[in-house]
Amino acid sequence: MLAFIFRRLLSGVILIAVISFLAFVLLYASGGDIARRILGENATAETVAKKTEQLGLDQPLLQQYWNWVTGALSGNLGRSWFTGELVSTSVSNRLAVTLSIVIGATLVSAIVAVVLGILAARRGGWVDGSVQVVSLIGFAIPGFLIALGLVLVFAINLGWFKATGYVPATTSVAGWLSSVTLPIVALSIGAIAAVSQQVRGSVIDAMSRDYVRTLRSRGLAINSVVYRHVLRNAGGPALAVLAVQFIGLLGGAVIVEQVFAIPGMGQLTVRATTLGDIPVVMGVVIAFAIIVVIVNLLIDLAQAALNPKVRLS
Amino acid sequence: MFRWKATAATIAIAALALTGCAGAGDDGSGGSDSGRADRLTLTAIIGPTSYDIGQGAEYGNRSPFFQAVFDTLLQKNSAGEIEPWLATAWEYNEDNTVLTLTLRDDVEFSDGTKLDADAVVGSLERFRDGTSPQAATLAGKEFAAVDATTVTITQDAPDPSLVNMLSIAPGLIQAPSTFDDPDSATEPIGSGPYVLDTASTVTGTTYVYTANPDYWNPDAVKYDNLTINVIEDPTATLNALKAGEANGAKIVNNDTIPEIEASGWTIESNELDFQGLLLFDRAGTMAPELADVKVRQAINMAFDREALLKALQAGYGTVTEQVFPATSVGYDEALDSTYEYDPEGAKELLAEAGYPDGFSIDMMSTPAFQTTFDLVAQQLADIGITVNYTDPGSGNFITDMLAPKYPATWMALEQNPDWQLINFMIAPEATFNPFHSQDPQVDEYISTIQMGTEEEAEQATKDLNAYLVEQAWFAPFFRVQGTYATDANTNLEFWPTNAYPSIFDFSPKN
């Protein structure tokens, strides 16, 4: 098991190295005149030239990449060209915000999806039908439309939640809940739709197995059978879908963060990429690559824990 | 069997979520012992690139961030008039090559160090030698501290824009104690009315300030706390407005004005930018047709400016045919009717110039302003000029324009005060004169404006403006309305010469 984890982490490091180089090359190729973009139209050509030199943008590509790598390996990811903030500070602060929303959305969607999936699988009939229809609707409506609708109804008209901004949980738990509830709901709806269908399918499949009939014939209540035995077996595929959803939610958070003006990774990424803020984009790329590697590793370990038949190799 | 734990947990979460609504809806009123209102919450469309004045000092839409923590040498009031601030007096010598400033002696930075002539000289040099957008405006000037409260600025030739510059970004004074500290990019030390609360601030998104308890001009400060939220998305700004989460907001899309006013907010406006065509290639290097003044005049006659204003800005703004702003001494309202919308007359003029069948011209376009570019092409096509558009790619619009890669372009530009405008768009070495067009008459006017007496300069500015309109160096369409919205609790007097209002011009309504 330790050998497995070690091999996984090693391949993760290689992956991150390759991704960082590709990202750097792409940024360089599409950069345009970044110094002019930073300074705007009022600056003279001399000031733009000075800025270009100061940022090292007149150096060859490989030289710039080497500068970045040596800096990154010693823990210095540089400063944003557009806000002056240390990249490591920006990324870690905003990661905390986005993760709080994405993890919240993952938990909410996991719980609701499991409940709905089991409900649909066990009750069947009109309950099953209506859960499927609701899922389909949640899946089909674009995330930003859901987000805007929620803002309009719950934040502006009813005033129950904040329309924009983020309050850290360390400042005020009530404020934090007020600012993350609508974003989490907006993000969850699409994920619930997908995962609940997966759970429903797995539960129906598991319920028809012989061991369920055996357990029932021994007098176990159906609820106990479902929660203690069926769920464990149905959990594998659902967990895989959830993992994909989690990574997807990181992307979906981009839109939600724009609509709710939340200072998370999504907002940072969009702004930095549009402006050509290379240090920040590189920091974001590295952060996301690390998250994906770790999440995939954790999911594999969880699958092994759920199902002893899975071999880690 | 009753799952009381789960139920209790659910009720607790619901209760917390509902009490969270108490956190929503911040407002700016509420008195305090100081006689000031509690908090002013503003939204801006862009944040500062760096609080180090050598890197990022900039007014425009970034002004409130710098005004909050730094003082400028001079200040502009809500009417745009220059007033004493850190400098109580300023005077030129005989030939306008030395400006002497007298400073206040009672100002300290927020870390307790004194703001004296050395600090001022240090800041001016830092700005001049740095890479902030307007660094070049102090190029070639020397600064000296004569004594603790006297500073001289020496230049080779008169600079009619210098005094104005000292009231905006170049005049910001930063504490020398932070000059060598890279953290000064996000943790500024200044002498301004507020101090940045670095713990509550999220760089790039929310900037929180508390009133400076030792500020030398406490009567000018009307709020104990200031929050500036950076919201780039216009829809999110609108939502923040409607949910009562701000006292003031910069509005980018003028077609949302009716919606904003319907929500009980007040609209203040100024006119700072113009949109139109810049007919760069007046010598005909790239497009020989543009060398003929009749062609450029014909282009000016091709546009139905009123209709363009309605189509592109929902009617907000003012039609114009001159690049000098209404606040300029050179402005003449009569000039705005020099060219009538007359496609037939334009075609005749083109035929006189030798182009009875029109011609084609290369220009740039970007998807962001597609409607504008389509309308421009359509109106030019009506007089026989075919526009070949090229999309320069994201971020290259200005670079390609200034290369220069095109003989003419549509653009939105700021109408700066006169000397700045001349050096920005008109002078042979101006940034937005990429072909370095030169005209002996224009040179003569520019020389008088720089070297002459005030009366001579004023007359020369009028003459220059009239000459440029007659020579059709540009084809302006209209001045754009710059819009700012304030809520029912807040009063604002919007100064005329900057995109963002002065933080000193906000006050609570009581």
Tell me the chain A residues in contact with residue B42 when contact means C-beta distances shorter than 8 Å.
Answer: none
Residue A143 has pLDDT above 50, yes or no: yes
A25-60 residue pLDDT tens: 888 776 678 888 888 888 888 899 999 999 888 888
Q: What is the pLDDT of residue B62?
A: 96
Contact: A165, B245; criterion CB under 8 Å: yes
Contact: B399, A33; criterion CB under 8 Å: yes
Percentage of chain A surpassing pLDDT 70? 98
Percentage of chain B surpassing pLDDT 70? 93
What Rg value do the Cα atoms of chain A yield, rounded?
A: 24
Prediction ipTM score: 0.80
Contact: A83, B206; criterion CB under 8 Å: no
How many C-beta neighbours within 10 Å does residue B365 have? 21
Q: What is the pLDDT of residue B15?
A: 47
Average pLDDT over residues A237-241: 77
CA distance A10 to chain B (A): 34
Average pLDDT over residues B105-116: 95
Average pLDDT over residues B331-358: 95
| pLDDT top residue among A240 and B162 | B162
Residue B24 has pLDDT above 80, yes or no: no
* Cα separation values, B331 from B49, B162, B190, B311, Å: 34, 21, 38, 26
Split at pLDDT 50, 70, 90, the class of A197 is: confident
Classify burial at B299, counting beta carbons within 10 Å of its beta carbon; exposed 0-12, middle 13-18, buried 19 or more: buried
State the angle between helix axes of B234-242 and A231-260 in degrees (0 to 180), rounded to the nearest 10: 90
Average pLDDT over residues B166-181: 96
Helix, strand or coil, per DSSP, at residue B467? helix
What torsion, rounded to 10 degrees, do the Cα atoms A254, A255, A260, A264 define?
A: 0
State how far the Cα of A177 lies from the Cα of A187, in Å rounded to an integer.
Answer: 15
| Omega prior to B170 cis, within 30 of 0 | no
Average pLDDT over residues B219-233: 94
Split at pLDDT 50, 70, 90, the class of A146 is: confident
Q: Is the Cβ of A33 closer than 8 Å to some Cβ of chain B?
A: yes
State how far the Cα of B184 lies from the Cα of B122, in Å rounded to an integer.
Answer: 15
Q: What is the pLDDT of residue A260?
A: 87
Closest CA to A245 of A140, A106, A99: A106
Contact: A159, B243; criterion CB under 8 Å: yes
Average pLDDT over residues B290-312: 96
| pLDDT top residue among A240 and B128 | B128
Q: What is the pLDDT of residue B4?
A: 58
Q: Is the Cβ of A276 closer than 8 Å to some Cβ of chain B?
A: yes
Q: Is the Cβ of A313 closer than 8 Å to some Cβ of chain B?
A: no
Give the highest mean pLDDT range of A112-121, A210-219, A299-308, B281-290.
B281-290
Q: Is the Cβ of B21 closer than 8 Å to some Cβ of chain A?
A: yes
Average pLDDT over residues B352-381: 94
Closest CA to B478 of B426, B421, B415: B415
B68-103 residue pLDDT tens: 999 999 999 999 999 999 999 999 999 999 999 999
Closest CA to B490 of B269, B252, B246: B246
Structure tokens at B224: 């104990």
**Amino acid (1-letter code) at residue A181:** T
Q: What is the pLDDT of residue B3?
A: 57
| pLDDT top residue among B295 and B232 | B295
Least CB–CB distance from B239: residue in A37, A151, A176: A151
Q: What is the pLDDT of residue B301?
A: 96
Q: Is the Cβ of B482 closer than 8 Å to some Cβ of chain A?
A: no
Q: Is the Cβ of B16 closer than 8 Å to some Cβ of chain A?
A: yes
Least CB–CB distance from A174: residue in B20, B55, B233: B20
Helix, strand or coil, per DSSP, at residue B411? strand
Q: What is the pLDDT of residue B395?
A: 75
Average pLDDT over residues A143-166: 87
Structure tokens at B5: 């734990």
Percentage of chain B surpassing pLDDT 90? 85
State how far the Cα of B182 lies from the Cα of B477, in Å rounded to an integer.
Answer: 45
Q: Is the Cβ of A175 closer than 8 Å to some Cβ of chain B?
A: yes
CA distance A308 to chain B (A): 30
Average pLDDT over residues A57-68: 89
Cβ contact B308:B478 at 8 Å: yes
Contact: A83, B16; criterion CB under 8 Å: no
> Which one of B398, B405, B497, B498 makes the best mutation probe of the A interface by having the most chain A beta carbons within 10 Å?
B398
Cβ contact B4:A161 at 8 Å: no
pTM: 0.85
Give the CA angle between residues B40, B43, B45 to the nearest 5°. 155
**Amino acid (1-letter code) at residue A41:** E
State how far the Cα of A113 lies from the Cα of A199, in Å rounded to an integer.
Answer: 7
Residue B31 has pLDDT above 80, yes or no: no
**Amino acid (1-letter code) at residue B475:** A
Burial B170-187 (b: 16+ CB within 10 A, else e): bbbbbbbebbeeeebbbb
CA distance A112 to chain B (A): 13
Helix, strand or coil, per DSSP, at residue B438? coil
Residue B32 has pLDDT above 60, yes or no: no
Tell me the chain B residues in contact with residue A160 when contact means C-beta distances shorter than 8 Å.
Answer: 17-18, 20-21, 24
Tell me the chain A residues in contact with residue B414 when contact means C-beta distances shorter than 8 Å.
Answer: 41-42
What's the mean per-residue pLDDT of chain A? 85
What's the mean per-residue pLDDT of chain B? 91
State how far the Cα of A50 lies from the Cα of A41, in Å rounded to an integer.
Answer: 15
Residue B394 has pLDDT above 80, yes or no: no
Q: Is the Cβ of A162 closer than 8 Å to some Cβ of chain B?
A: yes
State the angle between helix axes of A265-275 and A278-306 in degrees (0 to 180), rounded to the nearest 10: 140
Q: What is the pLDDT of residue A87?
A: 93
Residue A10 has pLDDT above 50, yes or no: yes
Q: Is the Cβ of B248 closer than 8 Å to some Cβ of chain A?
A: no
Q: What is the pLDDT of residue B435?
A: 96
Q: Is the Cβ of A173 closer than 8 Å to some Cβ of chain B?
A: yes
| pLDDT top residue among B159 and A302 | B159
Lowest mean pLDDT among A103-117, B104-118, B375-389: A103-117
CA distance B22 to chain A (A): 8
Helix, strand or coil, per DSSP, at residue A173? helix
Average pLDDT over residues A108-122: 86
Q: What is the pLDDT of residue B11?
A: 53
Residue A226 has pLDDT above 80, yes or no: no
Q: What is the pLDDT of residue B5?
A: 58
DSSP-assigned letters across all residues of B80-133: S-EEESSEEEEEE-TTS-EEEEEE-SS-B-TTS-B--HHHHHHHHHHHHHS-ST
Residue B476 has pLDDT above 50, yes or no: yes
Least CB–CB distance from A263: residue in B52, B135, B205: B205
DSSP-assigned letters across all residues of B242-306: HTT--SEEEE--GGGHHHHHHTT-EEEEEEEEEEEEE---TT-SS-GGGGSHHHHHHHHHT--HH
State how far the Cα of B114 lies from the Cα of A240, in Å rounded to an integer.
Answer: 63
Helix, strand or coil, per DSSP, at residue B71? strand
Q: Is the Cβ of B23 closer than 8 Å to some Cβ of chain A?
A: yes
Least CB–CB distance from B231: residue in A41, A181, A261: A261
Q: Is the Cβ of A223 closer than 8 Å to some Cβ of chain B?
A: no
